[in-house]
Amino acid sequence: MTAKQMHYAVVAGGSKGIGFAIAEALARRGYHLIIIGRNEASLSHAKNEIEKSYGIQVYTLVKDITDHDAADDIVRWCGSKNLSVNFLCNVAGIGGAKDYLDSSLESMRYMIQLNIESVIALTSCLLPLLELNSPSYILNVSSMAGFGPIPVKNIYSATKSAVIFFSYALRYQLKQKHISVSCLCPGPVFTKPEIEKDTEEKLGAFGKIMAVDPARVGEIAVKKTLAGKMIIVPGILSSLISVLLRILPKRLLVIIYYKLGK
């Protein structure tokens, strides 16, 4: 068994969707996995599928990573098992189609906790272990929504923008520690029927053309993270559009997004 095959990857939110695809891509490369999620049935299904297909070891932890002590608990658990963790994937997040003005304060606070606070907390707590087992990798999952302010998804785009900025800064800070930081910023990925419906309503046929299959997103994300790429946007069309989003003035993007969202 090679050194890489002895390493473990922590995938927060790895039981479904993009997280599961990332977990599979890591398993194909010989990584053992620690998959974290809130639903025990989904975790068990993911564990069985991956272990059966790739012959690696999968641990599952039932955790709501927005809980105050969740990150500390996860790190203590890894320590108790003496696992060599050198890959962290912060995938767990929440979207939603409700406008900021129509959302409850409770739902907005939860989105901020899950999309930002959990990323910061789990990364902070796992850093000593990642440094110990370096070279190591951190993959944070944002979105193309993080490249511009979206009035109809105000808090979502703000949280995803925060993940991008956090990743840029952290990458610079950890360079000398041999820990590479990457940020996945996908466009439309149809992991749920409601996402496909919302994309079609907002972007029509163009949205379908932009969409990338979850399995392909996971493969691209892991491949480019291991290659040291910072911003990862799967799909040629999405990648081109992401360049425009980063160049255009934010005040213009607000107007464009608002017109599309009406």
Residue 180 host element (H or E): strand 179-184
Burial degree of 261 (CB within 10 A; 0-12, 13-18, 19+): middle
DSSP-derived secondary structure for 196-258: HHHHHHHHTHHHHHH---HHHHHHHHHHHHHTT-SEE--SHHHHHHHHHHHHS-HHHHHHHHH
Alpha helices by DSSP H, listed for 29-69, are 40-54
Instruction: Locate 125 and state its tokens.
Output: 């707590």
Q: Report the share of the chain in percent with pLDDT over 70.
A: 89
Task: Indicate which residues carry an active-site annotation.
Answer: 156
Question: How far apart are the C-alpha atoms of 35 and 147, rounded to whole Å?
Answer: 28
Domains along the chain with CATH numbers: 4-261 (3.40.50.720)
Distance from the Cα of residue 117 to its chain's centroid: 13
* pLDDT score of 195: 61
- When pLDDT is averaged across residues 76-99 and rounded to a whole number, the result is 91
Q: What is the mean pLDDT of the chain?
A: 90
- When pLDDT is averaged across residues 24-49 and rounded to a whole number, the result is 96
pTM as predicted: 0.91
Give the pLDDT confidence of 38-65 residue by residue, as tens digits.
999 999 999 999 999 999 999 999 999 9
Q: What's at 29, amino acid-wise? A: R
Give the pLDDT confidence of 129-180 residue by residue, as tens digits.
999 999 999 999 999 999 999 888 899 999 999 999 999 999 999 999 999 9
